[in-house]
Each structure stands twice: as structure tokens, then as C-alpha cells.
Amino acid sequence: MEPYSDDTRAILGLKLPTDPRWVDLAALSLEAILTDHAWCEQKAAITCISLVQRFCEYEELVTALSPVASEEWGHFRLVVAELRRRGLRLGRQRKDEYVGRLLEFAKKAGRVEERYLDQMLFMAMVEARSCERFKRLSEGLADEQLRKFYRRFMESEAGHYTLFIGLAEARFPKERVRDRWAEWLQFEAGVIRNLEVRGDRIH
């Protein structure tokens, strides 16, 4: 992999960059990558709704995520529209191996507060990697319209990453959030290192 020389690492803290071959592979599989992107946005919307249901006693989360759920669903519609504009079809949803591996790391037992912290950092992690991937697409694709398309999504994911970190810090000392986030970053780097490089999926 190329050295992580751009500003994404400084902003997001990711330990490993996306393999540079990924953008070229994605460019050869536009229907597949746009399909996967659409379903990622749909799952993000559903997850936000689920979090509101699960942690309804946390007023700041309900307030913050209610509009995000609508935004993510709007993103699903935008990606589907882009597929149709290009004469492509929305394919079947696939199992997300990356997300599955991250979920294995999240705490599932213990106090609800502990599970809440890990849920916020899990969401921040997915948004951070998505932001990095969209940045790669916004800079590496030959199609100018798609570069602009993904620049918009990159900016949105960066905002969501910040939001979830902020929700964690609203409930826990910043030092505790920072320490656990460092553990998430190390684990995620191992996941990225061991995943096959494929151009038909966002993660």
C-alpha cells in the first residue's frame, strides 16, 4: 500500500489507507459499486432509526439522529437516481463483511452505557472509512460528474463521523472516548489489512 500522505489520516485517524487499486477496480464496476453504495445508505438510515429506538432516553441522540435517518434515506434515493441516469440497475444487497467484522469488536454485554459508547464509535468508524473511500473516488475517477457526486458524499460522511464522536463525548470523558477510539482504529486497521480488495463494494 502507498504511504498515507494525504490529509484524511490527520482528520480521521485511520491507520491504513484504502489500497490504490480499489478506485480503478470500482471504475470498472460502476453498477456494482453504486448498488453497494445505495444499500449502505439504506442500512445507515435503518441503523439510525434503530439507535433512536434503543436509546430513546438519550435526548441528545434522538435530536441528532432523527434528521440523519432522513438524510441517509435521501442519499439512498440519490444513488438509485444516479444508477437510473446511467442506464444501470439496482442489484441485490450483499453481506457486508467489513461491517460484520467491526460488529464483532463492539461490546455486547455489561452496562448499557458501555454498549452505547461502543455503538457510537462503531458508527463513527463506518462513517470515517466511508468518508475516506468517497474521497478516493472524488479524486481518482476519470468521470468528472461522479467525482463531484462523491465529493458531496465525502463531506456528508465527515459530518456524520464528527457527530457520532460528539455523541460519545457528550456522555463520557473525552480521554475515555479517545482511548477507546484508539482501540477501534487499531482493530479496524487489521480488518482492512485482511480484506480482499474488491471494486464492487464500498467497504
Pick the CATH number of 21-194 from 3.40.50.720, 1.20.1260.10, 3.40.50.620, 2.60.40.3080: 1.20.1260.10
Instruction: State how far the Cα of 11 lies from the Cα of 28, in Å rounded to an integer.
Output: 29
pLDDT digit of tens for each residue in the chain (203 aa)? 333 345 555 568 899 999 989 999 999 999 999 999 999 999 999 999 999 999 999 999 999 999 999 999 999 999 999 999 999 999 999 999 999 999 999 988 778 888 999 999 999 999 999 999 999 999 999 999 999 999 999 999 999 999 999 999 999 999 999 999 999 999 999 999 999 999 899 99
Q: What's phi and psi for 86, nearest 5 deg?
A: -95, 5
Dihedral sign for Cα atoms in the order 108, 113, 116, 120: negative
Instruction: State how far the Cα of 156 lies from the Cα of 53, in Å rounded to an integer.
Output: 23
Cα distances (Å, whole numbers) of residue 26 to 4, 41, 55, 108: 20, 17, 37, 34
Task: Report the predicted TM-score, pTM, of the whole model to 2 decimal places.
Answer: 0.92
Domain locations in the chain?
Answer: 21-194
Q: What is the DSSP string of 159-197?
A: HHHHHHHHHHHTTS-HHHHHHHHHHHHHHHHHHHHHS--
Instruction: State how far the Cα of 115 lies from the Cα of 113, in Å rounded to an integer.
Output: 5
CB–CB of 16/192 below 8 Å? yes
CB–CB of 103/118 below 8 Å? no
